[in-house]
A and B are shown apart, each in its own frame.
Chain A
Amino acid sequence: MLLEVSNLAVDLMGTAGAQRIVSGGTFALDEGESLGVVGESGSGKTMTALALMGLTPENARVSGSIRFEGRELTGLREEAMLALRGDRIAMIFQEPMTALNPLHRVGAQVAEPLVLHRGMTREAAFDRAVQLLDHVRLADPERAARAYPFALSGGERQRAMIAMAIGCSPRLVIADEPTTALDVTVQARILALIDGLRAESGMALMLVSHDLAVVAGHCDRVIVMYAGLIMESGPVEVVLREPKNPYTRALLEARPQPGASRGRRLRTIPGSPPIHHEIGAGCPFAGRCDLTIDICRTTPPPEVRFSADRLSRCHRAREMGSLNMRTGA
């Protein structure tokens, strides 16, 4: 296993005490595999990604175990993490305009990890950066390398970010909503590019997204998160076809489907996601869930395992097959 995470928890220290925003995160990722992490805002998906990168905010405390290439990352000193980050693990952020430094040329930024991790001279690294920009199929890579980020379009900036991430041939790339700010046509091209890079280099991918459909097309397995908990995980096509968790099912039904008839009632989820301090003893989805029974409000949902890599955290997971009433999609 390339990455093994077990019982990952992230607590944010605030004036009101600690708030647990990710809990019980257990998952694994093999070489060359792609894992989708899906959830709505506040579900803890980004914080999970940041924890793997050692980039959680100052007031966050990470506990549990993150084993990457057999090495424990939690509690690793910052210098050791620096050596890994950008080299063995790289991250692609949502908004390349804020993730790129506006005052440095794109080429120099793409070259940076090569200077840092490979000891290349700035000149040699810059030449390599031009090759990398060409590799991510940026039109006119020479020009792009000399340009400042503002001069590139959103799609071009995201390609530059990807070039920066893959420069040192990382074994794991974490992409946090890499295409959310982009047009659908550009999104399709960027995701196809990431797929291609993964196929040729065998890197593993963790794709964080709010969009189940994006994950459906580009990942082998999926984790569905809600209020800091992994509600369901398993192979993508199985989870989408036959969700074993009411939250996953609700997400699938809430989205208007291309080709569905106009004005058809969409499934809504009453209420809104809980704020962390509101989560009581039971299931965080209790109350919003149409399958809520008494035990949901009082007892944390158990992990119900359906197969080695298929898990649902729900008191009623085993009934889900017979309760499936999904239409369309």
Chain B
Amino acid sequence: MSEAPLLEVVDLVKTYRLPRTSPFTPHGRRPALAGVSFSIVAGHSSGIVGESGSGKSTLARIALALDKPDSGAVRLEGRSLFDLPHHELRALRAHMQMIFQDPYGSLDPRQRVERIVAEPLAALGAAGRAERSARVAASLEAVGLRASDASKYPHEFSGGQRQRIAIARALITRPKLVVADEPVSALDVSVQAQALNLMSDLQQQAGVTFLLISHDLAVVAHICETTAVMYRGRIVEIGPTEELFGAPAHPYTRELVDATPRFDRPTRVAPAAEGRNGLETTGCPYAARCAFAQSRCLKEAPDLEDLAGRARRAACWFPLT
């Protein structure tokens, strides 16, 4: 059992139906995930980066069985989530939790912190009242809040503290995997640092493994050992974070790295024009935007392949490194 990866995602495909443009036309379809596979080993947090519409949030929802894929499998410690009977899936949910982006929208303003943080326990039908209070207190203390904060309401806290409450809620079932979808992007810089330090601590002390979804490369690089870059429902590059951002192999990764504002050099803008929304059926999905595209890129779609001599895979005919 210990040999199985903590999370394994196999060939996920998910297509959303678009609204009709007129009553007489068929529904359009938009592939959100077009065959995504990767795995996370316990203790090795992974990041997913990509622009809006790349499918990263869809992936997060499916990884937690909050949504079903059209095809493909998700396995948590070797157990396939979509093949489990309902009650077993429910029990398994204790091992996987989610942190949402918005610390204002994800906490019910009418509930006391105690009830908010204990909610996953209630949903699992576990624990008596005394144990529940003890675990809420422990969970709050783990994120640097006071046990006495349990009797307060969310509005009595600042944005950063609210995100801590959301993290405390995710931690109360002592999960092995926490999926965090843009956990710090709504926070101010000074408060964001607290949340990121807390996530680092939880990795080291509580043994939590994160699947972190973010558009901010610096945030991902701060937490994750491995990073996958998504573009239009596909992973276009995956590998050790530092290496990936240091020497991108896929032109899209390079575009992301270059576009990230930093203090030590001006941002660079990729020479290609902003992509159209057409979904090409043949060829590399990034070819229309790619500054390095050649004729082969327009005809054949590259698969995610190992880069020679590196612990990295990229879906590109002409990788940059």
Contact = CB atoms under 8 A, between A and B. Distances in A.
Interface string A33-46: 00000001100000
B196 interface: yes
Given A251-B190, A262-B242, A264-B222, A257 B262 contact: yes
A12 interface: no
A271 to B, nearest CB: 8
B222 A184 contact: no
B300 to A, nearest CB: 24
Per CB-CB distance, the 5 closest pairs between chain A and chain B, nearest first, are A188-B259, A213-B261, A269-B190, A183-B51, A272-B158
B276 A139 contact: yes
Interface in B228-270: 241-242, 245-246, 255-264, 266-270
A217 interface: yes
Contacts of B223: 262-263
Interface in B259-316: 259-264, 266-270, 273-274, 276-277
Contact of A216 (B189, B224, B263): B263
B241 A262 contact: yes
User: Which of A155, A187, A212 has the most B CB atoms < 10 Å from its CB?
Assistant: A187
Interface string A202-228: 000000001111101100000000000
Nearest to B200: A263
Contacts of B196: 256, 266
Given A139-B276, A264-B222, A268-B190, A252 B263 contact: yes
A216 B261 contact: yes
A300 interface: no
A77 interface: no
Interface of B: 51-52, 158-161, 188-194, 196-197, 200, 203-204, 215-219, 221-225, 241-242, 245-246, 255-264, 266-270, 273-274, 276-277
A140 to B, nearest CB: 9
Interface of A: 40-41, 137, 139, 153-155, 183-189, 191-192, 210-214, 216-217, 240, 250-252, 254-269, 272-273, 329
A134 B275 CA distance: 16
Contacts of B259: 184-185, 187-188
Contact of B266 (A40, A217, A240): A217
Given A40-B188, A257-B218, A186 B51 contact: yes
Given A183-B52, A185-B51, A188-B259, A262 B193 contact: no
A185 B272 CA distance: 11
Contacts of B158: 272
B263 A184 contact: no
Given A184-B215, A262-B222, A272 B159 contact: yes
Given A267-B193, A269-B193, 7 more contacts: A155-B274, A185-B256, A188-B268, A216-B262, A217-B267, A262-B241, A263-B200
A263 B196 CA distance: 9
A41 B273 CA distance: 33
A273 B159 CA distance: 10
B243 to A, nearest CB: 12
21 contacts: A139-B273, A183-B52, A184-B215, A184-B216, A184-B261, A186-B274, A211-B189, A212-B189, A216-B261, A216-B263, A217-B261, A256-B196, A257-B218, A257-B263, A258-B217, A259-B245, A262-B241, A263-B222, A269-B191, A272-B190, A329-B263
B269 A329 contact: no
B222 A210 contact: no
A266 B222 contact: yes
A191 B266 CA distance: 11
Nearest to A240: B263
Given A185-B51, A267-B193, A272-B159, A211 B261 contact: yes
Given A187-B259, A212-B263, A329-B263, A256 B274 contact: no
A314 B200 CA distance: 33
